[in-house]
Amino acid sequence: MLHVVSYQIADSIDVRGFRAAYKEGIYHYDADELFYKTGDDTYIYIFKYGVVCFTNCSEAGREEFLQRIAPFGKNVFELKLSEEFEVETDAKENKFGYNKIEVTKPDEEVIRLIMLNVSQSVALDYFQEQTNLIQEETNEYTLRLEQKGRLSMSRQDLKMYIGKTLNLKNRIAENLYIFDSPPETWEDENLNRIDLGLKRTFDLQERYRDIREGLEIVKENLELFKDLLQYRNSTFLEWIVIILIAVEVLNLLFDKLF
């Protein structure tokens, strides 16, 4: 039995910088990820989107490694999201269960594929959490709009809010590749079946769609807020023009009369 645990430790990780500093044990790498084999049935997987995944590493070993990689992370979290998964080896057939998979051939590519899907799952948890926070903030503004009939938000607040939403959308867009099947599954039927089964087990596509839909709702609200603020500002400018014209008329009348 192999124990897999994945952590979202930061917004992102400098994969290239870490690879330059720690080269021993690298089994696979590219610009976005690093896969280490550190012992018999012991692996570490690092992803640029801020996730580190371990297989068969002790708790002390995990903590030591997380401290080592922390300087390479951007906005390292104090509280880490995590997900655990069990891999039963030497099974008669590949079989998927709740938080568990049984595999017939647990080689490096199979283990890497399992760790990839567990890491995708914890990354989706993080993006869902961030999306929920933005939606809650949006709901506060819409509730005030319903209760008071006006939008209690300045143009500066709106700009910051739009920036926060766009940053989250951009980060998800940058990491769209994480929800694609890796190239190895295109050439290996066994890997492809395992990958599809894991995606169903973790509901990756459905959860990703929920995040996209949540951000679209936020976007619609932002468009409404922007229109309301533009209307409020244009109305304010119209009143300024009216007041200036009225003052000018009063000045003319005063000059005529006196």
* Tens of each residue's pLDDT in the chain, 258 residues: 899 999 999 989 999 999 999 988 899 888 889 999 988 889 999 999 899 999 999 999 999 999 999 999 998 988 888 999 999 888 888 888 888 888 888 888 999 999 999 999 999 999 888 888 888 887 877 777 777 776 666 667 777 777 777 777 777 767 655 566 777 778 888 888 888 898 888 888 888 888 888 888 877 877 776 776 665 555 555 566 667 666 666 677 777 666
Q: Tell me: the pLDDT tens digits for 207-217?
A: 888 888 888 88
Contacts of 119 (CB under 8 A, 6+ apart): 6, 45, 47, 51, 53, 178
3-state secondary structure of 133: helix
Question: Half-sphere exposure (CA, 13 Å, Cβ side) for 202?
Answer: 26
Report yes or no: 157 and 163 within 8 Å, Cβ to Cβ: no
Q: What is the pTM of this model?
A: 0.79
Residue 50: name the closest of 20, 83, 80 by CA.
80
Answer whether 218's CB lies under 8 Å from 135's CB. Answer: yes
Check: CB of residue 139 under 8 Å from CB of residue 122. no
- DSSP assignment of 87-99: EE-S-SS-EEETT
Bridge-partner residues for 3, per DSSP?
Answer: 86
Which alpha helices (DSSP H) does the chain contain, by range?
Answer: 15-21, 59-69, 108-148, 155-174, 184-187, 189-202, 204-257
CA distances to 5, 94, 95, 255 from 91, rounded to whole Å, are: 21, 7, 8, 101
φ and ψ at residue 55, rounded to 5 degrees: -125, 125
Tokens of 166: 């766009």
140-162 tens-digit pLDDT: 777 777 777 766 666 677 777 77
